[in-house]
Chain A
Amino acid sequence: MPSTQPIIEVQNLVAKYGDKTVLHDVSTRIFPSEVRVILGGSGCGKTTLLKHIIGLLKPFSGTIRVFGTPIGDLDSPETTDVLKRVGITYQNGALLGSLTVGENIALPLRMHTTLPESIIREMVIMKLSQVDMPHAADLYPGELSGGMRKRAAVARALAMDPPLLFCDEPSAGLDPVTSAGLDDLLLRLREALGITIVVVTHELLSIQTIADNIIFLHKGTLLFDGSLRDARALTRGPLYDFFERHAEDSGSDAAATSAPGGENHS
């Protein structure tokens, strides 16, 4: 893996809201076709890090490169070009409520391409089939359940065949079965399309299943950046506490899956 170019490179990122520093000197590199999980308690700056990477927020200092291109203003042509190759699902779903699910997915295709309507229509069904809801094109987001809305958001993020997908807390607020389904979906996508996926989550089960590598943020500081196996091998520190606490919460299930989850990674 080290031989390839990183797809995302964050160098010495410092992020502030007003006077409040939210990220202290964060650096990391993410490589093609890996699933990287950003971990951390709520309010530790996970969403902030994600929003900096996609250019929604401007760093106080430090640089960010995606596909080798420095991320600047959202309006600049270089950044727009990069963002066309990035799929994003937001923490709150962010489907446009006034459009049907199908129109939501067709929106980026209509904006960025001149594809004929019959092909766009076919692609909408294709994306929806990938998230297991092929018949939902004509429903409005208000008519979907929470889990379906999350999956529809993934379908929209996939509309332009992005090689890079960001998911901010895809399973937050979902029941364990639905959230496991979503994890499955992400893995299948990686397998079928070979895309790089960056997931923000705090679900231990989910981490065990999907993560290749993890970043652990604690109060805005990057405390761990490495493989899942290395993370599991820790015997103390905040990340160890995090795993312990969550293992107790999710009971024996998590313990049972932890072994194969750790083995899978190479």
Chain B
Amino acid sequence: MWKFDTIRSWPKQAIFYIWACLSPAAGINMHEESPDISAHSQSLAMPEKLTKEWVAANRIPPVRRESDLVLDMTRTRLLDSAGAALVHLLDRECRRAGSRLVLQGIDRKVQATLASWTKDMPGEEPEAEALPGAALVALGEQGLAFAREVTTALSVLAEILYWGTFGLLKRRDYRRGVLGEQMYQLGYKAIGVTVSLAFLIGIVLSIQSALQLRQFGADVFLVAMVVWGMIREIGPLMTAIILAARSGSATTAEIATMGVQEEIDALRTMGLNHIQFVVVPKFWAISLTMPVLSLLSTTFGIVGGFAVSMFYLDLSPALFWSELTKNVILKDFVISFIKSIVFAWLIIWIGAYYGFKVKGGAEEVGRATTASVVTALFVIIIADAIFSFVYNIKF
């Protein structure tokens, strides 16, 4: 696909204008008799009807350096926009190659048609790579754009945190039952899928580990592995992944749609803060439900591990229980809780940020939603890695 990026970026535009002022005026040479055609010019006979059919059926004539191209248009009586496009394209290529395009014996009417089609066209597209320093400009622009994105994202986070806490004291959101509704939508409805997936993953993990442990007769260590794995890692992480896919995407889609339909503008002009109105209920809903969901999925994952140790490794329930209580310490639960809260905030932050970013039409909503989910998953897993690292530092 081609690029004519002169509208969106002013530095390129400025360069374009300077270029346009310096370059000779655009306009196609239309000589009936051209006295000074260079010696090694090539001449091509044009058909009577220089139209789409002809242009599509014939090869575009190659333009050679320092060799004028003569189009013999004596016979041509009809020209459509494809024909005009061909002439314009050849003219530009000739200029670039330092030669000229000559239209020989062109009929007055055809000439008028050609002019009416091409007179408003920009003389030549600025060649981005030919401009000195264009790469630097592009790099700088990208850097600026990135910095802007980061600033916006951080300001969304700051606003969420402010309006979710101190802002609530200053001005209450008077819609009744909105928090309950959001907790139901974002949290309660996710219980089924989270819990059943956790249970299955608990089973799968335990079976894989049991296969190894059995070889060494170390069956009893399975309990510690499953319990640690579920509490510290799988429980919060899996819940976060499911909520990012379910609730994060829904948040982006909802906010983006509101933006497209100018609902956000309406809110702001009515004196309501859009972050407070739209995001804060979701923020609290997910902050309250996420730890619960995480705990639930941890529990069900451990139940899965218990099932495997009972039926596959023949550990007694009493042994499982005593191993469990021996290995679990409060710190594990604390870290699990902190993780799930941080993940919840990441999900709502990223979801909201991508939602507010949508400025254009409806089709952008889908794109933003996809981007939001992918980013959320990526960031969550990075955050999880950081947690594992910090957790294992000995204080």
Chain A residues proximal to chain B, CB less than 8 Å: 97-98, 102-103, 113-116, 118-123, 125-127, 129-130, 132, 134-143, 158, 161, 192-193
User: What residues of chain A lie closer than 8 Å to B117, measured between beta carbons?
Assistant: 126, 130, 192
User: What residues of chain A lie closer than 8 Å to B85, measured between beta carbons?
Assistant: 119-120, 122-123, 126
Which one of B100-108, B280-288, B356-364 is at the A interface?
B356-364
Known: A97-B362, A102-B2. 5 other contacts (CB 8 A): A122-B88, A138-B3, A142-B361, A161-B80, A192-B117
Q: Are A119 and B122 in contact (CB under 8 A)?
A: no
Q: Are B360 and A126 in contact (CB under 8 A)?
A: no
The winner among B81, B121, B359 for most chain A CB atoms within 10 A is B81
Q: Which residue of chain A lies nearest to B121 when distances are taken between CB atoms in the complex?
A: A129
User: What residues of chain A lie closer than 8 Å to B390, measured between beta carbons?
Assistant: none
B393 an interface residue at 8 Å Cβ cutoff? Answer: no
Smallest distance from the beta carbon of B315 to chain A beta carbons, Å?
57
User: What residues of chain B lie closer than 8 Å to A115, measured between beta carbons?
Assistant: 52, 55-56, 82
Could you give 17 example pairs across A and B, Cβ below 8 Å? Answer: A114-B56, A118-B89, A119-B60, A122-B88, A123-B82, A125-B121, A126-B88, A126-B118, A126-B121, A134-B121, A135-B122, A137-B4, A138-B5, A139-B7, A140-B360, A142-B359, A161-B81
User: What residues of chain B lie closer than 8 Å to A158, measured between beta carbons?
Assistant: 81
How far does the alpha carbon of A161 sit from the alpha carbon of B113 in the complex, in Å? 12
Q: Which residue of chain B lies nearest to A193 when distances are taken between CB atoms in the complex?
A: B116
Q: Which residue of chain A lies nearest to B88 when distances are taken between CB atoms in the complex?
A: A122
B36 an interface residue at 8 Å Cβ cutoff? Answer: no
- The proximity string for B residues 1-24 relative to A, scoring 1 for CB distances below 8 Å and 0 otherwise, is 111111110000000000000000
- The proximity string for B residues 23-64 relative to A, scoring 1 for CB distances below 8 Å and 0 otherwise, is 000000000000000000000000000001001100010000
Task: Specify which of B1, B86, B121, B363 is in contact with A119 (CB 8 Å cutoff).
Answer: B86
How far does the alpha carbon of A158 sit from the alpha carbon of B7 in the complex, in Å? 23
- Report the interface size class on chain B: 20 to 34
Q: Which residue of chain B lies nearest to A121 when distances are taken between CB atoms in the complex?
A: B2
- The proximity string for B residues 152-175 relative to A, scoring 1 for CB distances below 8 Å and 0 otherwise, is 000000000000000000000000
How far does the alpha carbon of A139 sit from the alpha carbon of B52 in the complex, in Å? 26
Q: Which residue of chain A lies nearest to B360 when distances are taken between CB atoms in the complex?
A: A142
User: What residues of chain B lie closer than 8 Å to A102, measured between beta carbons?
Assistant: 2, 4
Given contacts A134-B122, A135-B4, A142-B361, A126 and B81 within 8 Å (CB-CB): yes
Q: Are A143 and B121 in contact (CB under 8 A)?
A: no
Q: Which residue of chain B lies nearest to A119 when distances are taken between CB atoms in the complex?
A: B85
User: What residues of chain A lie closer than 8 Å to B60, measured between beta carbons?
Assistant: 116, 118-119
Chain B residues proximal to chain A, CB less than 8 Å: 1-8, 52, 55-56, 60, 80-82, 84-86, 88-89, 113, 116-118, 120-122, 359-364
Smallest distance from the beta carbon of A186 to chain B beta carbons, Å?
14
Q: Which residue of chain A lies nearest to B93 when distances are taken between CB atoms in the complex?
A: A118
Q: Are A142 and B364 in contact (CB under 8 A)?
A: yes
Q: Which residue of chain B lies nearest to A131 when distances are taken between CB atoms in the complex?
A: B120
User: What residues of chain A lie closer than 8 Å to B52, measured between beta carbons?
Assistant: 113, 115, 161
Q: Are A129 and B122 in contact (CB under 8 A)?
A: yes
The winner among B3, B7, B82, B122 for most chain A CB atoms within 10 A is B82
How far does the alpha carbon of A156 sit from the alpha carbon of B362 in the complex, in Å? 21
Q: Are B81 and A123 in contact (CB under 8 A)?
A: yes
How far does the alpha carbon of A116 sit from the alpha carbon of B62 in the complex, in Å? 14
Smallest distance from the beta carbon of A239 to chain B beta carbons, Å?
35
User: What residues of chain A lie closer than 8 Å to B3, measured between beta carbons?
Assistant: 138
Q: Which residue of chain B lies nearest to A132 when distances are taken between CB atoms in the complex?
A: B120
Smallest distance from the beta carbon of B145 to chain A beta carbons, Å?
16
Given contacts A113-B82, A122-B89, A134 and B363 within 8 Å (CB-CB): no
Smallest distance from the beta carbon of B109 to chain A beta carbons, Å?
11
Smallest distance from the beta carbon of A126 to chain B beta carbons, Å?
6
Task: Specify which of A97, A118, A123, A132 is in contact with B363 (CB 8 Å cutoff).
Answer: A97
Q: Which residue of chain A lies nearest to B51 when distances are taken between CB atoms in the complex?
A: A161
User: What residues of chain B lie closer than 8 Å to A122, measured between beta carbons?
Assistant: 85-86, 88-89
Q: Are A119 and B89 in contact (CB under 8 A)?
A: yes
Q: Are B122 and A125 in contact (CB under 8 A)?
A: yes
Q: Which residue of chain B lies nearest to A158 when distances are taken between CB atoms in the complex?
A: B81
Q: Are A126 and B84 in contact (CB under 8 A)?
A: yes
User: What residues of chain A lie closer than 8 Å to B361, measured between beta carbons?
Assistant: 97, 140-142
Q: Which residue of chain A lies nearest to B2 when distances are taken between CB atoms in the complex?
A: A121
Smallest distance from the beta carbon of B19 to chain A beta carbons, Å?
14
Given contacts A122-B89, A135-B4, A142-B364, A192 and B82 within 8 Å (CB-CB): no
